[in-house]
Amino acid sequence: MNHNETKKGEYMASKQYDVIIIGSGIGGVGAAALLAKKFGKSVIVLEKAPHIGGRVASYTGRGDKVTIDGLELDAKGFRKSLADSRCWVSYCEPDLNTMFEKGLLDGYTFENGGHGLFWGNKSRCRLLLDYLECPVDMPVNKGLGFVDCRTNKIYQVPPRSPYPWQSEEGYKATMAALRQMGSLTLEECAAAMEMDVQTWLEERGLTENEEAYDYIKVVMACQNAMAEPRMAPAGDFLGYMAMARSIGMNLHTGSVATVAEPGCMAIPLAMEKQLVAAGGQILRSTPVEEVMVEDGKVRGVIIRSKEGSYEVLESDTVICNIPPKHIFGVLHPRHFPQEWVDLIQTKFWSPGLLSALIGLKHNVWEEFGVDERSFIWMPGIIKHEGYIGAVDMVMWNMAACAKRAPEGKRDFIFSTALTDKEMRTPQKVMRVINYCMDWFKRTFKGWKDNVEFVLWTPSDEAYGNWRPVGEKRPSIKSPYIEGLYFVGDQYGERMWGGGVDGASLCALMCVDTIMGTNLEEEILPFYHRGIPAPKKNW
């Protein structure tokens, strides 16, 4: 290994590794830690951003700055850092500079947006962390709230009792649909992977009762971050419904989690510790410029160092953690069939998330008899205005479940799924923000005096680059280049679901593919595994 000094633009001598990983998202660091700790591989992770974690980016306010992964950022640095995870600021009160100068974020822990982690301490992600011997506590919500935006009535949803906003008939139809989805087998969910949710529901008569249909749609939007049932693969949604009984969790008992300070970043940071203890490393601010491919085989990568010099790192195994639509930035399209390139570049799309973080002086839910630890739905806030699907909102006081706000204060998280194209249309984003800001003001007494700050951050690629219905996700092992593997929330033909948990499952699948092991079965209960799986009832 040669660390010779080079001038800007020169190539440095090469170093060799068993495995090179491009990107430090949950999938990338998860696979890296497994390969180093459990298989003794020499592993290097290359991350272009100055912080690790990819789309899992969380911040803690410290005086007039925020910190992330050891970096201290002012308002400008925060904007730049959001951009690293494809997020931006669309609206805030007061303006961002004032928010920072006045230290309004001091003591708050928050993500780039959203980040409710499905199944908390029973998730794939937590099981992976346990296996790596670096558990991170993921406390869940307690209870479900519901805002009927037609009447603006707010309910604590009673478990096992009729939903107060529905008619008797609507409730019966909703329960019948939930029972039907809850008794599916894994094979049935797998078979529904090629079909969209709307078709699956229509074939079973589950679109006939409007109240039940609306309810199923909001559950789907919440789980898959997709508002339009015609765009969502049925299998990905049904898996969540089918596993509820086996995992013994639902929104009433608690099934969406958060992480105390430093927030979700604790997950990649914990994985990195294990990687480093096993001799591996992550290089931050080190973009991969190109994956070297010769005679159909990977040879390594070319990186650009912080100083601007180029360096060749050699390996016959490269794992790419970059989301599908962006891989051609480091992998020349000539290495792949043109139709595959076209499919990914033009047909893959992304469910984005528009999120708000609101700092509050006191709990706003008490006056409505709602437990502030509840996950709260407000579906159908905007309908028939040219959005793809109805706009459904979810809300949660994460700080009521984990230490994420200064003593006595509250955070109020808002999140809604819009498509990538909607998110890139400022009028559509502002319409949603204006609806919500207006709703707060007319619903909560003394709202103006209670609010410390409001911060809206859209992301157009939050939930990954999804395939069109009927297509499979890209394979983990590239069929086109020997030694090239992919890992992340949208890779793997046997993957289902997405988000942090999807990326964790994919990390296991990727390592199994490389090492010929079956960690997936060793670590995960059957309902968390990929499809198809052994025949078992849920």
Ligand X SMILES: Cc1cc2nc3c(=O)[nH]c(=O)nc-3n(C[C@H](O)[C@H](O)[C@H](O)COP(=O)(O)OP(=O)(O)OC[C@H]3O[C@@H](n4cnc5c(N)ncnc54)[C@H](O)[C@@H]3O)c2cc1C
Distance of alpha carbon 277 from alpha carbon 36, whole angstroms: 9
What is the C-alpha to C-alpha distance for residues 319 and 529, in angstroms, rounded to an integer? 21
- Say whether residue 259 binds ligand X (CB under 6 A): no
Q: Is the dihedral of CA 496, 116, 488, 429 positive or negative?
A: positive
The verdict on 323 binding ligand X (CB under 6 A) reads yes
Near ligand X by CB under 6 A: residue from 33, 36, 46, 234: 46
In Å, what is the CA distance from 13 to each residue of 3, 80, 121, 283, 290? 7, 32, 45, 17, 16
The answer to whether residue 257 forms part of the interface with ligand X (CB under 6 A) is no
Q: Taking CB under 6 A as the rule, does residue 116 contact ligand X?
A: yes
Q: Which of residues 16-35 bind ligand X (CB under 6 A)?
A: 22-28
Give the residue, chosen from 258, 321, 450, 465, that forms a contact with ligand X under the rule CB under 6 A.
321
Using alpha carbons, select from 357, 348, 423 the residue that is nearest to residue 391. 423
Q: What whole-number distance in Å separates Cα of residue 457 and Cα of residue 82?
A: 9
Here's the x/- map for ligand X, 478-517, by CB under 6 A: it reads as: ----------xx--------xxxx-x--------------
| 235 near ligand X, rule: CB under 6 A | no
- The nearest distance, CB 55 to ligand X, in angstroms, is 3
- Of 193 and 303, nearer to ligand X (C-beta) is 303
Applying CB under 6 A, does 112 fall inside the site for ligand X? yes
Query: Minimum distance between the CB of residue 288 and ligand X, rounded to whole angstroms?
Result: 4
Spatial neighbors of 168 by CB under 8 A, at least 6 apart, are 162
CB atoms within 10 A of CB 455: 22
Stretch that binds ligand X, among 102-110, 245-253, 458-466, 474-482 (CB under 6 A): 458-466
Residue 54 lies near ligand X (rule: CB under 6 A): yes
Closer Cβ to ligand X, 32 or 242, answer by number: 32
Q: Minimum CB separation from ligand X for residue 168, in Å? A: 34
From the list 153-161, 332-340, 457-465, 508-516, the region that binds ligand X by CB under 6 A is: 457-465
Site for ligand X in 267-306 (CB under 6 A): 287-288
Judged by DSSP in three states, 168 sits in helix
- In the complex, least distance from residue 41 CB atom to ligand X, rounded to whole angstroms: 18
What are the distances in angstroms from CA 353 to CA 24, 45, 195, 222, 277?
A: 21, 27, 24, 11, 35
3-state secondary structure of 330: coil
Q: Does 47 bind ligand X (CB under 6 A)?
A: yes
Question: Binder to ligand X among 243, 353, 508, 514 (CB under 6 A)?
Answer: 353
Q: Least distance from C-beta 379 to ligand X, angstroms?
A: 17
Residue 114 touches ligand X, criterion: CB under 6 A? yes
Q: Rounded to an integer, what distance in angstroms lies between the CA atom of residue 61 and that of residue 44? A: 31
Yes or no: say if 78 and 96 are a contact pair by the CB < 8 Å rule. Answer: yes
Q: Count the helix, strand and coil residues of the chain and give each as a percent rounded to the nearest 5.
A: 35, 25, 40
Residues of this chain that bind ligand X (CB under 6 A)? 22-28, 46-49, 54-56, 84-85, 87, 112-117, 287-288, 321-323, 329-330, 353, 355, 459, 462-464, 488-489, 498-501, 503
